[in-house]
Structure 1
């Protein structure tokens, strides 16, 4: 049973990381847009 729990934990870690990467990319795009607008 421990092995299955570990797999679930790893999947959650991956999902969290993907979400953080998406957030960081979104922030990066926003900053690029602001720079393009002259801010």
Structure 2
């Protein structure tokens, strides 16, 4: 049970980091295109 909860938490963190990373890439690309 503990391993399952730990895996679910790590999976959510992975998805969250992917979303934030893609958002940062879009923000950086948008700023480069803007300038």
Q: Which runs of no fewer than 5 residues in structure 2 stay unpaired?
A: none
Q: What's the TM-score, normalizing by structure 2?
A: 0.83
Runs (4 or more) in structure 1 with deviation over 3 Å come to none
Query: Based on CA coordinates, which of the two structures has the bigger radius of gyration?
Result: 1
Q: How many residues align?
A: 34
Q: Which runs of no fewer than 5 residues in structure 1 stay unpaired?
A: 1-5
What do you get for the CA RMSD once the two structures are aligned? 1.2
Q: What's the TM-score, normalizing by structure 1?
A: 0.77
Looking at secondary structure, tell me which structure has more helix per residue: 2
